[in-house]
Amino acid sequence: MVFQLSRRAIPPQKDPHDWNTWDHYRTVHELRLNQHPFVFADILTFSDGGESVVSLSGEVICRTDVALEVEIWFDARYFGSTLRIRAYSFRYIGWLRGEHLLLKYHNLHRDSHEYHHRVYDPTTGAEVFHETLQRYQFPTFPEVLDELEYLAESL
């Protein structure tokens, strides 16, 4: 089961986390979050971290007592009069509320170009799978929710 979750076989492609308009990113983000069948509610906040940084952080409450902690940092720049953002730092931590971790995705190591994917045994919290990914293999927010839903199905 766990090895089906590997993203390492994703071939090189356009960076899914590259520059996007602020308005488009927020619209798509809200739409996908509101339409995702596994999401019950969210406590997510976009914040302006200054002239050149934006962040998204908080928690998504999912069905079957699962939660996803989210922290994404974006470079922000104006191209003409259009604000554009590009994600550069990610942290997703999925867990069974009051119990164990289910998954982690992040690039919070010394080398921010190392993107890590970890899966945990929901009964013990022990890590059962780990891989290092390229940026283009790193999942989008809805893909993380899909994987978390898949892992929660076995609870």
- Least Cα distance to 95 among 60, 129, 137, 140 occurs for 60
Please indicate, yes or no, whether the overall pTM of this predicted structure exceeds 0.85: yes
Return per-residue pLDDT of the chain as tens, 155 residues. Answer: 444 689 999 999 999 999 999 999 999 999 999 999 999 999 999 997 667 889 999 999 999 999 999 999 999 999 899 999 999 999 999 999 889 999 999 999 888 899 999 999 988 889 999 999 999 999 999 999 999 999 998 77
**Which domain does 31 fall in, by range?**
2-152
66-79 and 82-96: which strand pairing? antiparallel
Question: What is the H or E stretch that residue 35 is in?
Answer: helix 22-35
CA angle centred on 149, ends 99 and 142, rounded to 5°: 120
Number of domain units in the chain? 1
Residues 6+ apart with CB under 8 A from 2: 119, 128, 129
The conformation of residue 10, written as its DSSP 8-state character, comes to: P
